[in-house]
Amino acid sequence: MPGIPKYFPILLLAATACFGSCKKNVDTGILSTGNFGDTTGVLKDAAAFPIGTAVNNGPLQDPAFLAITKRDFSSVTFGYEMKHGAVVKDNGSIDFTTPDAMVNLLGDMTIWGHTLCWHQNQNATYLKNFAGIIIPAATELLTYGGFESGMTGWSVFNTGNPSGTATVTTTTVSSEIHGGTTAMKVVNPTAYPGNQWRVQVSSASFATTPGKSYIISYWVKAASAGGSIRLSTGTAPTTSQYQGDQSIGTSWQQVSWSITAATATNTVLFDMGQAANTYFIDDVSIKEAVVQPDQTQIAVKLDTALKKFITAMVGHYKNRVHAWDVVNEPFADNPVAIRTNVNTNTDAKDVLVWSNYLGRDAAYKAFKYAEAADPTADLFINDYNLESNNAKLDSLLAFVKELKARGCKIDGIGTQMHISRTSNLGGIDNMMQKLGASGLKVRISELDVKAVAGSAAGGLTPQLLAYQAVVYKYTVTSYLKYIPAAQRAGITIWGVNDKNSWLYNNGADYPLLYDNNYNKKPAYSAVLQGLKGK
């Protein structure tokens, strides 16, 4: 960075393994000269395995960013553009326009698919509506239910015997209105016991679907006690339906009635001939009754959506993308467990926890769908904090064994490694040893190292940059030491330059290998040294 010398003394921090199973102390040395000034060389040329970076569409349009990406790295991971939320539209269709353009821009670079089954960065609104987790508000079918336009949309069918005995008007008297500024007022001075239909007002017709249920509701009160009202439908006599008589008092009350439509159109009628009284009716509503699906039905719908997305995404890039993060972050922390809505923050609108509804089958199904779409692709499971949470590491390894025993094709494990200059180095070694012992391919999938976090000074210093470089180098060295060559799927740095990092936050931290002006930092030299075994 500007004003930062290339050579400076640093004091390396001793680190002790954080897990009870790791007995040895890890001492990285004392009073090192911190020789991270030599940045000569290209990262991808220093390794026999892929050296990758994460990119997003915006920064990729910067020629300097693109040039560094192609020069230093042999593979790329799209930080967002291949995720569910980036390509799935609100109607469930999939739009590949942006990721296709990025693929074309990157030429023949290797592209790592990211990610197929994750609880974040999804079009969760579509998924929740599609599955019935969210019940959308039913559409109002009645246009003039508030009587704000007078009796528009309503027809008076009967006004007593003889006709005209009762009157049907609207009122604007505030005490006679439930909502808005107007209500319907029906004055019936004569009782017609057993003949509610003698005073009758009908709505306009509205569309219905035979066999579906509808809720008709309204607010009503009478001028005196002892009122009586009912609803009926105005279809053919053989299909008309009748509500039971409702006793009406002098206070506003809401009355609801459910019908099952028998025809493609209907009308609803208010019948008020039974008892002599004055009736005030307002805020009439007719909506389809929406039934909440049960958990089994929700799971079936989400399974359908998961299969559609994975099949479409993997199939679309089958000839271009040959490795995928199939399942991302399946475990929650403290306590370690498969994710549910209980142990996961679901406040963000882009969150849907697949395993809350599909259980452990969410991961199983994701791997099966990915394999079916491209049997030749390498399929990975990916999670974070494996270097600092031994229980999570062991749980992930056990889960992989479980899925493989069930017949899943799982080729490798990704460890994200969003770490910092104060991360416990013994935990890194512990993780690498256990991942190496799995026999699967191992990939550092999202490596970045926070330099400033936890610093009392509150800003970037040469010493913090040096500490950051030490952790980068140690991580690469540990990977080479404990992961057999045949299992090395690669190391991906989660970004190119600091200002485009998800951790940058207007200068709160500087976690990557290049500064904001695309100058190589000490961390670049450290990674290069680690790859070369220096």
Interval 49-78: pLDDT, tens: 999 999 999 999 999 999 999 999 999 999
Cα–Cα distances (Å) from 2 to 40, 253, 460, in that order, read: 18, 74, 12
Dig out the tokens for 91 from the structure: 């109607």
What's the CA gap between 490 and 207, in Å, rounded? 60
Q: Which residues contact 215 (CB under 8 A, 6 or more apart)?
A: 138, 256, 257, 258, 285, 286, 287, 288, 289
Helices (H), 378-521: 390-405, 425-437, 462-482
Q: For the chain, what is the radius of gyration of the CA atoms?
A: 34
Report yes or no on 323 lying in a domain.
no
Report yes or no on 225 lying in a domain.
yes
Q: Are 489 and 479 in contact (CB under 8 A)?
A: no
Contacts 24+ apart (CB under 8 A), 26-32: 26/425, 26/426, 26/429, 28/425, 28/470, 28/474, 32/470
Report yes or no on 227 lying in a domain.
yes
Annotated active-site residue in 81, 371, 387, 446: 446
What's the CA gap between 492 and 479, in Å, rounded? 12
Report yes or no on 258 lying in a domain.
yes
Report yes or no on 250 lying in a domain.
yes
In total, how many domains does the chain have?
2
Report yes or no on 533 lying in a domain.
yes
Could you identify the residue written with the tokens 């936050």?
505
Q: Are 450 and 420 in contact (CB under 8 A)?
A: yes
- CA 118 to chain CA mean position, Å: 8
In tens digits, the chain (534 residues) has pLDDT values of 333 333 233 333 333 334 433 333 233 333 343 678 888 899 999 999 999 999 999 999 999 999 999 999 999 999 999 999 999 999 999 999 999 999 999 999 999 999 999 999 999 999 999 999 998 788 999 999 999 999 999 999 999 999 999 999 999 999 999 999 999 999 999 999 999 999 999 999 999 999 999 999 999 999 999 999 999 998 666 678 999 999 999 999 999 999 999 999 999 999 999 999 999 999 999 999 988 899 999 999 999 999 999 999 999 999 999 999 999 999 999 999 999 999 999 999 999 999 999 999 999 999 999 999 999 999 999 999 999 999 999 999 999 999 999 999 999 999 999 999 999 999 999 999 999 999 999 999 999 999 998 776 668 888 899 999 999 999 999 999 999 999 999 999 999 999 999 999 999 999 999 999 999 999 999 999 999 998
What's the CA gap between 305 and 299, in Å, rounded? 10
Q: Which among 254, 288, 322 is the end of a domain?
A: 288
65 and 184, same domain (yes or no)? no
Could you identify the residue written with the tokens 């025809």?
263
pLDDT at residue 236, as a whole number: 63
> Which of 506, 82, 534 has its CA nearest to residue 321?
82
- CA 306 to chain CA mean position, Å: 12
Report yes or no on 370 lying in a domain.
no
Q: Which residues contact 122 (CB under 8 A, 6 or more apart)?
A: 83, 84, 85, 88, 350, 351, 352
What's the CA gap between 230 and 251, in Å, rounded? 17
pLDDT at residue 135, as a whole number: 86
What's the CA gap between 88 and 306, in Å, rounded? 11
- Side by side, the strands of the sheet bearing 154-159 are 154-159, 199-203, 268-271, 227-233, 246-248
> What is the identity of the amino acid at 75?
S
Task: Indicate the Cα dihedral angle 73, 75, 79, 85, nearest 10°.
Answer: 160
Report yes or no on 390 lying in a domain.
no
CB atoms within 10 A of CB 76: 24
Q: Which among 272, 288, 304 is the end of a domain?
A: 288
Annotated active-site residue in 81, 329, 371, 387: 329
What's the CA gap between 348 and 358, in Å, rounded? 20
Could you identify the residue written with the tokens 């049907």?
168
Q: Which helix (H) or strand (E) holds 321?
A: strand 321-328
Dig out the tokens for 276 from the structure: 């002599």
Catalytic residue list contains 329 = yes
Work out the angle between the directed axes of helices 425-437 and 390-405 (0-180°, nearest 10): 10
What's the CA gap between 282 and 17, in Å, rounded? 72
CB atoms within 10 A of CB 492: 26
Task: Print burial letters for 332-344: b (CB count within 10 Å at least 16), e (below 16).
Answer: beeebbbbeeebb
Interval 486-524: pLDDT, tens: 999 999 999 999 999 999 999 999 999 999 999 999 999
159 and 43, same domain (yes or no)? no
pLDDT at residue 287, as a whole number: 96
Cα–Cα distances (Å) from 215 to 51, 119, 257, 287, 425, in that order, read: 61, 36, 6, 5, 64
Half-sphere exposure of 491 (CA within 13 A, CB side): 26
Q: Are 18 and 427 in contact (CB under 8 A)?
A: yes
Q: Which among 258, 288, 318 is the end of a domain?
A: 288
Which SS3 state, helix, strand or coil, does residue 35 take? coil
CB atoms within 10 A of CB 30: 9
What's the CA gap between 326 and 382, in Å, rounded? 8
161 and 68, same domain (yes or no)? no
Catalytic residue list contains 81 = no
Which residues constitute the domain of residue 232? Answer: 154-288
Domain CATH number, residue 241 = 2.60.120.260
45 and 158, same domain (yes or no)? no
What's the CA gap between 74 and 51, in Å, rounded? 6
Q: Which helix (H) or strand (E) holds 125?
A: helix 124-131
φ, ψ for residue 446 (rounded to 5)?
-150, 55
pLDDT at residue 30, as a whole number: 32
CB atoms within 10 A of CB 131: 20
> What is the identity of the amino acid at 247?
S
